[in-house]
């Protein structure tokens, strides 16, 4: 039998083995997932009144004396957003959420998480508008509040960096870069690269 035919047969045997192994592995993962999902869909409700809800007072939202319709209107969207109950549940999958707090609380908690995301989006928009309108100190307060509330959006870090430079506060930007460097934030390298590019643009 030619050597190349032997090698080909061995390859086919190995490929079949690997495919079967992968299929078994995927089957186990699927079975495990659906077993957890079934358990989650029967999980009893637990008390959710004690959870770490995000509470923001209107006084924490940057304000300024202005006739700018854009600034006033966007600020009002932020004020409206903080009237809703908010919580960051981004670290939980849907299954985890049901298992931990009960299937009956799932939709309610999901709405609170959506409220949190909506608040961050509105505050980010407001901070950008403040910057565009040259209300730099207020924009800084807005971006700092975003980070305090848990935003991990690169745009918010970049926005704060631009504010620091516009205010003539390069030391604050250096401090921000050090903070990110020592953190475990998602997409850390991407954010750091963006911050350093902003820093270099003003060098």
96-135 pLDDT, tens digit each: 899 999 989 999 999 999 999 999 999 999 999 999 999 9
Of the residues 81, 100, 135, the one at which a domain ends: 135
pLDDT(15) > 70: yes
Total domains, the chain: 3
Do 72 and 130 lie in one domain? The reply is yes
* Residue 160 counted as domain residue: yes
* Residue 177 counted as domain residue: yes
Of the residues 95, 110, 135, the one at which a domain ends: 135
Q: What is the pLDDT of residue 2?
A: 66
CB-CB contact of 176 with 138 (8 Å): no
* Residue 114 counted as domain residue: yes
Q: What is the pLDDT of residue 34?
A: 63
Nearest-Å Rg of the Cα atoms of the chain is: 25
* Residue 179 counted as domain residue: yes
Do 68 and 115 lie in one domain? The reply is yes
Do 67 and 123 lie in one domain? The reply is yes
pLDDT(32) > 70: no
* Residue 16 counted as domain residue: yes
How long, in residues, is the chain?
203
Report the percentage of the chain scoring pLDDT > 90.
Answer: 66
pLDDT higher at 38 or 145: 145
Do 63 and 129 lie in one domain? The reply is yes
Is the four-CA dihedral 88, 198, 143, 131 of positive or negative sign? negative
CA dist 107 and 142 (Å) reads 30
Of the residues 105, 135, 165, the one at which a domain ends: 135
User: What is the overall mean pLDDT for the chain?
Assistant: 89
* Residue 109 counted as domain residue: yes
pLDDT(203) > 90: no
Do 118 and 69 lie in one domain? The reply is yes
pLDDT(180) > 80: yes
Please give the model's pTM, rounded to 2 decimal places: 0.80
Do 79 and 107 lie in one domain? The reply is yes
Do 117 and 188 lie in one domain? The reply is no
* Domain that includes residue 33, residue range: 1-40
Do 60 and 130 lie in one domain? The reply is yes
> What tokens does 71 get?
């600034």
DSSP one-letter code for 43: P
Do 11 and 66 lie in one domain? The reply is no
With H, G, I as helix, E, B as strand and everything else as coil, classify residue 18: helix
Each residue's pLDDT tens digit, 35-76: 777 777 778 889 999 999 999 999 999 999 898 999 999 999
Q: What is the pLDDT of residue 112?
A: 97
* Residue 140 counted as domain residue: no
pLDDT higher at 22 or 122: 122
């Amino acid at each position: 039998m030619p050597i190349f035919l032997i090698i080909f047969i061995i390859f086919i045997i190995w490929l079949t083995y690997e495919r079967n192994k992968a299929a078994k592995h995927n089957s186990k993962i699927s079975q495990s997932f659906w077993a957890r999902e079934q358990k989650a869909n029967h999980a009893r409700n637990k008390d959710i009144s004690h959870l770490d809800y995000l509470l923001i007072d209107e006084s924490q939202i940057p304000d300024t004396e202005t006739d700018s319709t854009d600034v006033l209107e966007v600020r009002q969207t932020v004020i409206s957003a903080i009237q809703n109950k908010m919580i960051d549940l981004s670290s939980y999958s849907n299954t985890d959420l049901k298992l931990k707090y009960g299937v009956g609380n799932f939709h309610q908690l999901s709405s609170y998480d959506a409220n949190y995301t909506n608040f961050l989006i509105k505050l980010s928009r407001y901070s950008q508008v403040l910057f565009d309108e040259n209300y730099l100190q207020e924009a800084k307060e807005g971006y700092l509040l975003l980070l305090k509330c848990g935003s991990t959006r690169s745009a918010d870090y970049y926005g704060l960096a631009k504010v620091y430079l516009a205010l003539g506060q390069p030391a604050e930007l250096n401090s921000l870069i050090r903070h990110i460097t020592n953190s475990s934030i998602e997409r850390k390298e991407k954010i750091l690269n963006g911050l350093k590019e902003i820093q270099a643009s003003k060098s």
